[in-house]
Amino acid sequence: MTYEQTHPWITFRLDLRQADWGLWLDLGEAASKCEHLAGAPLQPEVAQRLHEIFLAKGAAGTTAIEGNTLSEAQVLQHIRGELHLPPSQAYLQQEVENIVPAMASLRPLWGQRPRRCSAPSCCADTTGRCWKAWS
């Protein structure tokens, strides 16, 4: 049985045609703030620390979905090479080790914007942005 059959009121669709001007104003302001913050220069040490923290949060969350019980702090210790677990928990560390390089490999894509897509069968959203094809 699918969720459509058991919960027909959940559609995962958003119709913004009826949205008032206040919502659009707030969304524009939020987007502007995000762009402003994204362009703010950081000291290299701060940038590296934030990278480690967000990598640890992402890896901890991703592996937790599969049942990994390591905390974000333990994953951060692993990323820094400081985590020492007993042999009975080595598999938990290996799960993190398997995901961290894949997540870190996405770093070159940070800050890039999706390109416009003209293919009608593409993954483009209502604005025409293609979220699979990065320029």
Residue written as tokens 């042999």? 87
Percent of the chain exceeding pLDDT 90 equals 50
Sequence-ordered list of residues with C-beta below 8 angstroms from that of 134, at least 6 positions apart, any chain: 109, 112, 114, 115
pTM of the model: 0.58
Q: How far apart are the first and last CA of the chain?
A: 40
Q: For the chain, what is the HEC assignment? A: CCHHHHCCCCCCCCCHHHCCHHHHHHHHHHHHHHHHHHCCCCCHHHHHHHHHHHHHHHHHHHHHHCCCCCCHHHHHHHHCCCCCCCHHHHHHHHHHHHHHHHHHCCHHHCCCCEEECCCCCCCCCCCCEEEEEEC
Q: What is the pLDDT of residue 60?
A: 95
Percent of the chain with pLDDT over 70: 81
pLDDT per residue over 45-79, tens digit each?
998 898 899 999 999 999 999 999 999 999 999 99
CA dihedral 116, 54, 72, 78 (to 10 degrees): 110
Angle at the Cα of 34 from the Cα atoms of 33 and 35, rounded to 5 degrees? 90
pLDDT greater than 60 at residue 129: no
Domain ranges in the chain?
44-109
Between residues 121 and 43, the one the model is more confident about: 43
Distance CA 80, CA 99 (A): 15
CA-closest candidate to residue 57, choices 72, 77, 78, 69: 72
